Amino acid sequence: MTSATWAERSPTPSDAGDLLEVEGLYVTFTTPEGVVRAVNGLDLTVAEGEMLAILGESGSGKSVTMQALLGLVPSPPGTVTSRRLRFGDQELSEATPRAFRRVRAREIGMVFQDAPSSLDPGRTVGSQIAEVLRVHEGLGRREARLRAVELMDRVRIPSSAKRAKDYPHQFSGGMCQRIMIAIAIALQPRLLIADEPTTALDVTVQAQIMDLVQELRKDLGMAVVLITHDVDLAAENADRVLVMYAGSVMESGPMAEIHGRPMNPYTRGLLASVPSAPSTDGRMRPIPGSPPVLSKLPDGCTFAPRCEYVEDRCWEVHPALEPIGPARSSACHVITGDSDV
């Protein structure tokens, strides 16, 4: 694996089309308490080479959305439907399970939040990276081992040839996450999904992991979907953001614009709860109340019980996601693109 190989693809969001396009995604789960509506009619696009952040509180539907797109929602109890699911030039909503698995295996990499528990404790890290190359590229044992060491070098694990023989418990949480990234990029995917990749890591290690992801994104020309509840992490790294709440998109658009001037009350609440946000005076103001029970969603706006701008109509009709300016959308009856509320 040479440096030239790693630099073959270099599209950027400004000069490339959409790599992923999703329309009308619904995910439900049948439970003894009723039908849980985890994702409700979500639309999203991811351009070649861009980083899209999906931002929201725990339980907002961020991770379930990506699991649905990867075909990882268990059925039963889960049910996934969509009007459209296109990846590159392939329409996956009509693909056979085998074709879907092939795309998922070769063109989409996944990094989970709890790296130590995602690795097999009974196998060396080198063998776990090599297995991906043996299964999907047909490499022999020796070549796969050499490539595994190269990948460990690429994610900056010191003494990679020696450490490839070590087991997961011999690595720190940050190093385990680097190993997971090495596995995820082994086949040079076009899209990397990073699900809370810096959870439980200290601030310095978080920055190192995100710097690594950004570097790989540039070198491989891959797009990244960053799933996070961390407003600062999204603001520092993402090009665009989808803000999710109770399974629906509340606001979307360029990260810098939304971070600087949020329009949706829920987005405003998220930013106000972060001391470093430009809209605060340095004090945290948590959003009052709790998210709704997903098996008992109201007819109106799901955020209405927690919203300081709530009006009578908010209790009756769920707001649609509407354009509020160039490349920006929000789902709110009260605040619009021209509103100074």
Nearest CA-CA partner of 146 in 137, 259, 317, 285: 137
The helix (H) or strand (E) run that includes residue 251 is: strand 248-254
First to last CA, the chain: 55
- SS3 letters for 35-99? EEEEEEEEEEEEECCCEEEEECCCCCCHHHHHHHHCCCCCCCCEEEECCEEEECCEEHHHCCHHH
Nearest CA-CA partner of 207 in 173, 254, 170, 174: 174
pLDDT tens figures, 135-162: 999 999 999 999 999 999 999 999 999 9
Assess whether the previous peptide bond of 77 is cis (omega < 30° from 0): yes
Which among 2-11, 144-153, 291-300 has the top mean pLDDT? 144-153
Is the pLDDT assigned to residue 11 strictly greater than 60?
Answer: no
Is the pLDDT assigned to residue 277 strictly greater than 70?
Answer: no
% pLDDT > 90, the chain: 73
pLDDT tens figures, 12-23: 444 457 999 999
pLDDT at position 321 is 94
98 vs 242: which has the higher pLDDT: 242
Is the pLDDT assigned to residue 95 strictly greater than 80?
Answer: no
- Interval 309-313 mean pLDDT: 94
pLDDT tens figures, 238-255: 999 999 999 999 999 999
Residue 53: pLDDT band by 50, 70, 90 thresholds?
very high
Which has the minimum average pLDDT: 41-45, 156-160, 286-290? Answer: 286-290
How open is the CA angle 199-6-178, to the nearest 5 degrees?
20
338, with CB counted inside 10 A (0-12, 13-18, 19+), is exposed
Is the pLDDT assigned to residue 282 strictly greater than 80?
Answer: no
Q: How many other C-beta atoms are found inside a 10 Å radius of the C-beta of residue 320?
A: 12
Give all strands (DSSP E) within 156-247, no chain letters: 191-195, 223-228, 240-245
CA 33 – CA 10 distance, rounded (Å): 48
CA 331 – CA 263 distance, rounded (Å): 9
Q: Which two tokens stand for residue 6?
A: 């790693």
Q: Which two tokens stand for residue 79?
A: 């049910």
